[in-house]
Amino acid sequence: MFSTMNNSQRSFPELVGRSAHEAVAYISAKGLHPQVLRANDPMTRDLRMDRVRIIVDPTRTYVIKTPTLG
């Protein structure tokens, strides 16, 4: 799980402005578990080092915030 990923990358600024589908595919290809949420959606406060939260616009079309690990 965690040991199979590139430990040096904890955020993915290159995904801001891309489609949600592209972001999910990119994160999944790195062996991580993407979680797509809108900016005001409720989310847990637990820390999971295999999860990347992808914050998208209200229509769930584009990434609006830098996805980060945790």
| Class of CATH domain 2-69 | alpha beta
Please, which pLDDT band fits residue 66 given cuts at 50, 70 and 90? Answer: very high
Q: Decide if 33 contacts 52 (C-beta within 8 A).
A: yes
Which pLDDT value is given to residue 8? 67
With a cut of 90, say whether residue 2 has pLDDT above it.
no
The model's pLDDT over 19-62, given as tens digits with 9 standing for 90+, comes to 999 999 999 999 999 999 999 999 999 999 999 999 999 998 99
Which pLDDT value is given to residue 7? 53
Q: Which helix (H) or strand (E) holds 23?
A: helix 20-29
Q: Where are the domains of the chain?
A: 2-69
With a cut of 50, say whether residue 1 has pLDDT above it.
no
In DSSP terms, 68 is beta-bridged to 11, 53
